[in-house]
Chain A
Amino acid sequence: MRVVIAEDLFLLREGLVRLLTAHGFEVVAAVASAPELLRALLDERPDVGIVDVRLPPTHTDDGLRAALQARRQVPGLPVLVLSQYVEQLYARELLADQAGGVGYLLKDRVFNDEAFTAAIRNVAAGGTVLDPEVVQKLMVRHSRTEPVTRLTPREHDVLALMAEGRSNAAIAQRLFISEKAVSKHAAGIFAKLDLTLSDDDNRRVLAVLAYLES
């Protein structure tokens, strides 16, 4: 799997390259600024771009803006955005095109290399991965509104994990329940939230996120 990495701090960039190489990814470019990133994404057309939000030249959200611009030119170009902070505002901008192939994670998630590489593969496959912290904020927004309050605690947990972009299998493993039980909970959630249930994992995530973002 071909990967482009954009990270301005040398130590972190080298760390990421080492980690991904060790897990069998091919790092085709490791760049340190937003213009370089944009060029690398458009020239290399990697399977996934791993992008730090804050990059030179302005050291603000240049990385995010470069990633969004690349996705405007190449719709659905998979991008996993890493940041020291997660903001709902940025998540919303990343999800706005509804094309999938988007991830938004805190940098510390790199510590858990299995989960991290799984997230990269998920994004590369067109899936959507959101940091649990963003999802938690989304859930808080709706915690007082009507349909969400009717969910059972278990359904609530499942909804949060679905919003993070996890598959039924991953949710089952996480909650120590069977995949069938997860499907049942999912059906219950979709019925209560008045959403149309889809077997496609990615479309399901997008539906859930679209609901939570409303």
Chain B
Amino acid sequence: MLFAIVLLLTIGCIAFALAREARGVPRPDGLRGRIRDRGWALLLLPVAMSAAVMAGGAHGLIPAELIIAVLLIVFAPKAAARVVPYGMLVLAIVGVKLARSYQGGNTSGVQYLFVHAVSHGGAELVLAEAGVLFVTGLWLLLRLDAPGARPVRALTARWLASGRGGISGVAALLLIPVVGLTMQLLGPGNWFGWQAVDGLDVAVMDLTLLAGALVLIFRSRAWAATLAAAGLLVLGAYGWVIALFWPAVPGFGFAFVDLQNSPPHETFWGAGLEASVLLAAGLWLAPRVARHHLAGSPDPELVTRARQLTQRVQTLTQTRHDAVDTAVAELRRIERDLHDGAQARLVALGMSLRAAERLFPASPEAALALVAEARESSSLALTELRDLVRGIYPPVLADRGLPDAIRALALDSPLHTVLEIELPGEVEMPVAAAVYFSVAEALANVSKHASARSVHIELSYAAGMLRAEVTDDGAGGADPALGSGLAGVERRLATFDGILAVSSPPGGPTILVIEVPCALSSPKTSSC
């Protein structure tokens, strides 16, 4: 009766929890909705029930535990959910202990989940249930992000991380049964004729072997798999030797075959069958391991490098795309400006001159007026060209390099500017232009929005990094996400792996920092 309730509760709770996880299902109102809201926490019910039942059942323990569980589920569903995995793990450990105590001769029967265990039977089932509980508990621990999940997750992530030797985790895990089978074959206390002093020696050796195997599995998947393959082949071969020559060869137990107590024909068939399975597994694994070793194990440094390079290629693809886009947009703007500006002025100029030519014999004064107009037109065309060129590549930057170009910017700004420039060499032109336009944009923003009175511009170079800092004493509260200008600056800098950071707390000051990795050349020598 009790198992039936526990079983139903477990299935029901898992169904609810999974249904809640299902996407796109709106939460129904009423009782169903509330139950679904409780989600994984509902699993506390079967866990509490199992614990109570195992502890004896009677004397009001079941109602007491269930009430506590229900209260937790109702008032603290999150905490209840997080308790569940630990409850399961504790139940699993208790199960293992229980199974051992039955093997040790305990006779009092205990209800463990679905099994009523007594010393004559059920211990194996208890062990199996404990295993299921342990795995489920661990899974829920990760699933629910319960406290302590992080180290477990880190360990599994490390273990599951692809590229660790190119051998699948399952292959490496095969080392565990191989070690187990080997220990079983050697038997307790009888190592091929060498009698251990007492059981402690054997326990120490078994533990050492197991620990060694686990360490190897985590440290080097490839070598664990190699050892597993070799072990499978040797064990398989020895299994056939046992099948054919037992009892002339030493051995204690071979997998499911108890060599010491089985009749000869059972030994032959059992060992032969198991040996074939082991050999097959070994033959399946060996070529994979061999191929891996022949291909040369990838240097972890190379693997890291490959990952870095992949990321780099992604970044470069993006920034190149942005740079090309920016360049095309820039060319488009220049084309439009020339078309609507200087080109149109020159056409007007040509027309004025032609008209003046025609008018000249009849009315020299009118012709002169047209010539003056033409001159005006050429002046305007020049002004427009000048502004255009300044936007493409500022003349001072071309003439003098970055420091003087920043000085010229500061002079042209209506704000009071304080400059602090310390560059031990020349900045190459493309980077200089990007930094120049970034600082220009920053200054323009300050004079437009910040209601600032003075600006501090700092230009420095340290550890391969060119750094520009623009600080104003304005009102602050600037949002870099709002300005399209700063986004453009960011894209422009990204082409050179440069970054832009803005700090602008309400009340100021606003600090804009630009950092671009670059090399400086030696200072230009004066040509005259």
Overall SS of chain B's interface:
helix
B528 touches A62 (CB 8 A): yes
Q: Once the chains are docked, how many angstroms separate the CA of A87 from the CA of B397?
A: 11
Instruction: Establish whether residues A60 and B411, one from each chain, have CB atoms under 8 Å apart when the complex forms.
Output: no
Name the CB-closest residue of B to A34: B528
Q: Which of B399, B411, B414 contacts A61 (CB 8 A)?
A: B399
Residue A205 at the chain B interface, CB threshold 8 Å: no
A57 within 8 A of B: yes
* B407 contacts A by Cβ under 8 Å: yes
Given contacts A54-B399, A61-B399, A61-B400, contact A89 B528 (CB under 8 A): no
Given A65-B526, A69-B528, A111-B379; A89-B407 close (CB under 8 Å): yes
Question: Are B382 and A108 touching (Cβ within 8 A)?
Answer: yes
Within the complex, the shortest CB–CB distance from B100 to chain A, in Å, comes to 88
Residues of chain B within 8 A (CB-CB) of A65 are 526-528
From A57, A61, A107, name the one whose CB has the most chain B CB atoms within 10 angstroms: A61
Partner of B527, one of A57, A90, A137, A144: A57
Asked whether B404 lies within 8 Å of A89 as measured between CB atoms, the reply is yes
CB atoms of B386 and A85 under 8 A apart: yes
| Contacting pair B527 A62 (CB below 8 A) | yes
B411 touches A35 (CB 8 A): no
Knowing A54-B399, A140-B414, A143-B414, the reply to whether A88 touches B527 (Cβ < 8 A) is no
CB pair A60–B399 under 8 Å, yes or no, is: yes
Contacting residues of chain B (362-410) with chain A, CB-CB under 8 angstroms: 375, 378-379, 382-383, 386, 389-390, 395-396, 398-400, 404, 407-408
Nearest residue, chain B, Cβ from A55: B528
A38-64 near B? 1/0 per residue, CB < 8 Å: 100000000000000110011011100
How far, in Å, is A214 (CB) from chain B's closest CB?
11
- B412 within 8 Å of A (CB atoms): yes
Q: Least Cβ distance of A150 to chain B in Å?
A: 18
Residues of A contacting B395 in the complex (Cβ-Cβ under 8 angstroms): 54, 84-85, 87
User: Is the interface on chain B under 10, 10 to 19, 20 to 34, or 35 or more residues?
Assistant: 20 to 34
- With contacts A58-B527, A61-B400, A111-B378 known, is A141 near B414, CB below 8 A? yes
Select which of A54, A66, A90, A111 is within 8 A of B528 by beta carbon: A66
- The residue in chain B whose Cβ has the minimal distance to the Cβ of A88 is B411
Look across to chain B and name the residue whose beta carbon is closest to the beta carbon of A70: B528
Partner of B411, one of A54, A58, A62, A92: A92
A61 to B394, CA, bound (A): 13
A108: chain B residues at CB < 8 Å are: 378-379, 382-383
**In whole angstroms, what is the CA distance A65 to B398 when docked?**
14
**Smallest distance from the beta carbon of B272 to chain A beta carbons, Å?**
91
A87 and B396 alpha carbons, distance in the complex (Å):
8
Inside 8 A of B382's CB, which chain A residues have their CB?
A: 84, 107-108
Nearest A residue (CB) for B404? A89
Give the docked Cα–Cα distance between A137 and B528 (Å): 29
Which residues of B sit under 8 angstroms from A62, Cβ to Cβ? 527-528
Neighbouring A residues of B528 by C-beta, 8 Å = 34-35, 38, 62, 65-66, 69
A60 touches B414 (CB 8 A): no
Q: What is the CB-to-nearest-CB distance from A82 to chain B, in angstroms, rounded to a whole number? A: 13
Which of B389, B398, B408, B527 sits near A89, CB closer than 8 Å?
B408
Q: Which residue of A lies closest to B398 (CB)?
A: A60
Is the beta-carbon distance between A88 and B408 smaller than 8 angstroms?
A: yes
The contact string, 1 if C-beta is below 8 Å from chain A, for chain B 487-528, is 000000000000000000000000000000000000000111
A87-B408 in contact given A60-B399, A143-B414, A144-B414 (Cβ < 8 Å): yes
Report chain B residues within 8 Å CB of A66: 528
Q: Can you list 12 A-B contacts with CB-CB less than 8 angstroms, sorted by A residue number?
A: A34-B527, A54-B399, A61-B399, A84-B389, A85-B386, A87-B395, A88-B408, A88-B412, A89-B408, A92-B411, A111-B378, A141-B413
- Contacts A65-B526, A65-B527, A143-B414 given; 18 further ones with Cβ under 8 A? A35-B528, A53-B399, A54-B395, A58-B527, A60-B399, A61-B400, A62-B528, A84-B386, A88-B412, A89-B407, A92-B411, A108-B379, A108-B383, A111-B375, A137-B411, A137-B412, A141-B414, A144-B414
Residues in B lying within 8 Å of A, measured CB to CB: 375, 378-379, 382-383, 386, 389-390, 395-396, 398-400, 404, 407-408, 411-414, 526-528
Interface residues of A (CB under 8 A from B): 34-35, 38, 53-54, 57-58, 60-62, 65-66, 69, 84-85, 87-90, 92, 107-108, 111, 137, 140-141, 143-144
Closest 4 pairs (CB-CB, A-B): A61-B399, A88-B411, A60-B399, A89-B408
